[in-house]
Chains A and B, each alone.
Chain A
């Protein structure tokens, strides 16, 4: 066992974990943040994407101990049910989710993408999404949602908390 201390969604956490414990399992089972989903455990589907120090990372490809001292943000760090993040709001408005299983990973991939690309074109959006598999939607509405979110977030400008 190894001690691990990190920040998850702004909360300082210290745990003793097995070195082989995946970050995805640590978040889901130890910290009980089950919004991060596991779809393939080999880094292809992207459902388990979280932010590690602000960048999108597949939590199934990382050991929890590798996140020592890091700042990890999961989908639970975005909006709440009654105050959705603009990206979540856009997903809802554009019907960009069906079963919703891949959605948390999509959102966490897109948060840093929109931070770095505030006015993305369609192809850019599709490239950004190409590492996240969705079996339900056919992606078209996700692409629309991202464009919509980008537009709204630009309009909201520097409104506090509007964007990551």
Chain B
């Protein structure tokens, strides 16, 4: 039998993708199709009082506009996707997301209303017609601040912002600590990034009233659960709802989340209106409306014996779940479990508190919490190696689980509700191989000292990890041989680039003795296959692959039995290959698969009672528990101490994913995972300010690694087949991304050895590393890791010296006509007592000039001396609100004005204009002040400017 599994078979799906003929959701065009745009919250936390859609509905081209109340009974909070696992005393408080906001806004980007129009352009125009009455509330952004007793509560039905609490222990850490030779403790930060699939999300829904059938195209990783859930919501039988996940342009986790508000609203709208509706997320929406991951703070401690053996680990961490927690506890439990890595930790105590914040929802992103665990453990081991004077590789080796110790039970519960038991592994060879490939000994002995002597900072890192993959519950597959001889394979898991059309075809082709390109694979269409859960947790190849194997094996058996029956021989004398089933000793006697399919489906005559027609079989596979993949990554970097730029000189991955179905695809997955990890480690960070505004919601400000940033990756493999599935395979999709942060930290720290730089946070960036290097040169303790929030978006202060008297300047500053003439972009400004109303036209950076309604209320006035202004400006592109203070004092010849303003900026200008905000506002104030000076002169007061805006 030809064996295709294990071969680098070229992909069946590529020709379609390469020629632009593969269908993605946004490629669906239907007659009469309408387009949707969502109005989203500009506030991270606010009370939503009213939404007025009347003007939007009147705009030509708008067909409908809906807010929460328009959905009637259909409006319901989303389901809990993943219930918490059976951990004793676990606390979990479910606060589900809603289709459209009602009563409260809890994160920037939360959908408030939807407009359906003849074109997307018109729908977006109409968003500006919607009037939202919202009262901003203080936002909760920082994890620790969220837990303060007086912190604003995000979900008022709960008595705090605690979403969950769980403690898992094995052994007794207290006893381990008591007898430890050394205890090392640190605080570790891991911050948020975006999944940033190049394809944004999208939904197209079409309602066929005559057939009472709903068809939905969705960029989901889980078409079948989406179908089941929507059928229930829409009150339709599951058979009347068809969900298609066509080609999906990258998943990386967030596309498994359900239900996104848009997924709930669009099908309802299509049915309500009676026309197909398409919604395609744009990139800026994606930055806040698509789920994210990774904020955690760990206080971790390791207790060690003198020889470096781990006696115990104690970890207490905070996990950011964002504004809602639909995905349960998968991420923090992965962190908790993955921390243990390939090591024996006899005494472990891990406790986490999941916290609600006014930030986008957190659900798994490639790695799904595993990064954090690996980061904490590997960093602790690095510190231990340094403090105990043991080589970094050696301390890992001493703590590895030995090959004879599998299955290895860590005695805690994993994300799949099963005990965390490693099925197999062989860690020492992986470490040895990685060490040899990167030339660890020679680097440490020769290259690094030589580089040092030349003034170059070279560093090496080597980290190990174990990854739980291929978890249940189950997947299924149906293999059919058609009378034409064509083999069809249907399975429920969708594909986001993992090569299912090829690796699954290989599995089936092996069983049926055909070429891999002769197996036609359909995935992700509920009409074709309607049982299954989805593509996540590095499980597609393991679980669905095993189901494909079982179904194909059953068809093979059927074909052989039928042939044996027809030839009147025993099945053991029948062979299969080359598209035929034949007598082994006389291959001329036999049938093609197509002929057998025909014979297995007779139109007349009789069959043996109990015969199932056709050459077809449907099988399911559910593993006893997940299979554990593992690996070692090694890297050499060069750090420029002056600029803090890091250059990756070499990157080595040694990986064990059990039996490889297609090594070409495995390598591709690892390459991509590492690139993802490099982005997370050094380029990508979502930056929220204290008001919960995301300040870098564009690819100009949020940096994905480019072809210049990701090095070539050298790969080595160790193959320890999993005993938990017939293929012996383990998952690989997330592996590359998991240890990269830990590796980056170790290698960079090693490059900077001797400077005292200690890296306890990811992501780093050149600027953050620069700060760490600079701080290390200072005396005293290194400041705590940078939190993600960066205070208020816009702070202005300065002084300006005018030529006139304080009284003149005061009058001038409060004269609406003067102000209108000096403030750039002022179209109108009226005064009514202490209140000013006006209209401004302002453009900032990439945000083109747009109209803002301005309202200023003057208070705390002492004529000639001081006043305060409460400023509110809002327009289509966002808002600016806050307080400014002005003080005037005589400085001999004239008047010195001191001003300060602290402004919250929200909406588009905050999200994509942040880079320019500071400079533009400074330029604008300087321009205004100069114009004021001119007005003062024009009023006849002598003026000699002695200062400038600063």
Contact = CB atoms under 8 A, between A and B. Distances in A.
B479 to A, nearest CB: 24
Interface residues of B, number: 61
Interface centre among B21, B671, B698 (most CB of A within 10 A): B671
B699 A42 contact: yes
Nearest to A93: B10
B672 A137 contact: yes
Nearest to B8: A95
A140 B671 contact: yes
B197 A92 contact: no
Nearest to A47: B198
Nearest to B701: A44
A95 B710 contact: no
B11 A37 contact: no
Contacts of B24: 34, 37, 101
Given A34-B27, A35-B20, A39-B199, A92 B713 contact: no
Contact of A97 (B17, B196, B252): B17
Interface in B6-30: 8, 10-11, 13-24, 26-27, 29
A101 B672 CA distance: 14
B19 A84 contact: yes
A74 B18 CA distance: 12
A12 interface: no
B19 A88 contact: yes
Contact of B198 (A18, A39, A95, A141): A39
A37 B706 CA distance: 18
- Majority DSSP secondary structure for residues of B touching A: loop
A140 B250 contact: no
Interface stretch (A63-71, A113-121, A124-132, A150-158): A124-132
Contacts of A143: 707, 712
Interface stretch (B36-44, B150-158, B550-558, B660-668): B660-668
A23 interface: no
A98 interface: yes
A79 B19 contact: yes
Contacts of B669: 98
A135 to B, nearest CB: 5
B700 A98 contact: no
Interface string A24-40: 01001100111111111
B19 A134 contact: no
Interface string B187-207: 000000000111110000000
Interface stretch (B86-94, B482-490, B496-504, B894-902): B496-504
Contact of A136 (B120, B121, B672, B698): B672
Given A41-B282, A44-B699, A140 B20 contact: no
A76 to B, nearest CB: 5
Nearest to B677: A138
Interface centre among B19, B499, B665 (most CB of A within 10 A): B19
A125 B712 CA distance: 13
B283 interface: yes
A100 B249 contact: yes
B713 A138 contact: yes
Nearest to A105: B198
A36 to B, nearest CB: 7
A139 B710 contact: yes
B707 A41 contact: no
A42 B696 CA distance: 13
A15 to B, nearest CB: 14
B27 A136 contact: no
A88 to B, nearest CB: 4
B707 A92 contact: no
Given A45-B699, A95-B668, A140-B712, A29 B18 contact: no
B779 interface: no
Interface string B219-260: 000000000000000000000000000011111100000000
B198 A134 contact: yes
Contacts of A21: 121
A18 B700 CA distance: 28
Contact of B200 (A39, A93, A103, A126): A39
B250 A135 contact: yes
B19 A76 contact: yes
B331 interface: no
A81 B21 contact: yes
B496 A99 contact: yes
B29 A29 contact: yes
Give the size category of A's interface with B: 35 or more
Contacts of A135: 196-198, 250, 252, 672, 675-676, 704
A133 B704 contact: yes
B449 interface: no
B556 to A, nearest CB: 29
Contacts of B665: 95
A142 interface: yes
A79 B14 CA distance: 12
A20 B848 CA distance: 14
A44 B283 CA distance: 11
Contacts of A107: 18
A18 B121 contact: yes
Interface in A36-58: 36-42, 44-45, 47
A129 B706 contact: yes
B913 to A, nearest CB: 12
Contacts of B283: 39-42, 45
B674 interface: yes
B708 A127 contact: yes
A38 B197 CA distance: 12
B26 A100 contact: no
A137 B10 CA distance: 15
Contacts of A134: 198, 707
Contacts of B671: 137-141
Interface centre among B18, B736, B846 (most CB of A within 10 A): B18
Interface centre among A34, A102, A138, A142 (most CB of B within 10 A): A138
A84 B26 contact: no
Contacts of A140: 671, 710, 712-713
Interface centre among B8, B20, B248, B706 (most CB of A within 10 A): B20
A142 B706 CA distance: 12
A6 interface: no
Contacts of A141: 668, 671
Contacts of A91: 14, 18
Contacts of B14: 91-92, 97, 100
B198 A101 contact: yes
A137 B249 CA distance: 12
Contacts of B22: 100
Given A45-B198, A126-B707, A133-B704, A99 B249 contact: yes
B19 A35 contact: yes
A78 interface: yes
Nearest to B499: A98
B493 to A, nearest CB: 14
Contacts of A125: 707
B249 A101 contact: yes
25 contacts: A29-B29, A34-B27, A42-B699, A74-B20, A76-B20, A80-B19, A82-B15, A84-B18, A84-B19, A91-B14, A97-B18, A99-B247, A100-B14, A100-B247, A101-B197, A101-B247, A127-B708, A131-B706, A133-B699, A135-B250, A135-B675, A135-B704, A136-B250, A137-B668, A137-B672
Given A35-B20, A44-B698, A91-B14, 15 more contacts: A21-B121, A34-B24, A34-B29, A38-B26, A41-B282, A42-B846, A79-B18, A98-B668, A99-B198, A99-B250, A100-B18, A101-B24, A135-B197, A139-B707, A140-B713
Interface of A: 18, 20-21, 25, 28-29, 32-42, 44-45, 47, 74-76, 78-82, 84, 88, 91-93, 95, 97-104, 107, 125-127, 129-143
Interface of B: 8, 10-11, 13-24, 26-27, 29, 120-121, 196-200, 247-252, 282-283, 496-499, 664-665, 667-669, 671-676, 698-700, 704, 706-708, 710, 712-713, 736, 846, 912
Q: Which 5 A-B pairs have the closest CB atoms?
A: A35-B20, A101-B249, A100-B17, A99-B497, A98-B497
